[in-house]
Amino acid sequence: MSILFGMQQKTSSLGRPLGLVILTALLAGTAAAEPSAVGRFKDWAVFTEEKGGDLLCYAATQATSKSPSSVKHGDVWYYVTSWKSGQARNQPSFRVTYDLKTDKAPKTVIGRSSWQMFTAGGEAFAEDADDPRIVDALKKGSSLTVSGQSARGTNVTYRFSLSGSADAIAKAEEACR
């Protein structure tokens, strides 16, 4: 099964295919490079990709549960991305295959900590100042929950395993040093 995702940097669009089996895609009229799988760390995988002269490195995991079960969710991912250029380091984000409601942005919950995110289409990001705390919690926690609302008004909740997250995030960060 092919999985294709777009990824945005918080300040500008940046195409990024992501998945266990990834195909080359066209984005904004230019061919996107095919990512290279770096490794698998329990429930997380690490990829690198050359994009616009910069190396992108990311750790990613798919949702282990999706609710409500009565709707089609498509592919749902949580990932942590770094750019070799330093444009961003360890940027957590959430990605779905539909648009998210902008006035009811998703919330990331790990243990007793939670962070409100902001949306850009089918992606959600935390504020820059929250990124280090989220990544630290991802490395130490056992599970992650993201809840939000689709642009159509459906309340959704996704759960992700954090098994292997610390090693995957470290490997992605190392690959972009």
Q: Which domain holds residue 159?
A: 7-175
Q: Establish if 20 belongs to a structural domain.
A: yes
Q: Give the dihedral sign, CA 160/19/5/36.
A: positive
Can you tell me the distance from the alpha carbon of 81 to that of 47, in angstroms, rounded to the nearest whole number? 10
Q: Establish if 132 belongs to a structural domain.
A: yes
Query: pLDDT, tens digit, for every residue of 15-37?
Result: 333 332 222 232 333 455 789 99
Query: pLDDT, tens digit, for every residue of 42-71?
Result: 999 999 999 999 999 999 999 999 999 999
- Computed over every residue of the chain, the mean pLDDT equals 85
Q: Establish if 1 belongs to a structural domain.
A: no
Quote the number of domains for the chain: 1
Can you tell me the distance from the alpha carbon of 41 to that of 17, in angstroms, rounded to the nearest whole number? 19
Question: Which CATH number do you get for residue 152?
Answer: 2.60.40.1880
Query: pLDDT, tens digit, for every residue of 70-123?
Result: 999 999 999 999 999 999 999 999 999 999 999 988 999 999 999 999 999 999
Q: Establish if 2 belongs to a structural domain.
A: no
Query: Which letter does DSSP use for residue 177 in this model?
Result: -
State the pTM of this model: 0.81
**13-17 long-range CB contacts below 8 Å, 24 or more apart?**
14/51, 14/52, 14/56, 15/51, 16/49, 16/51, 16/56, 16/58, 16/81, 17/49
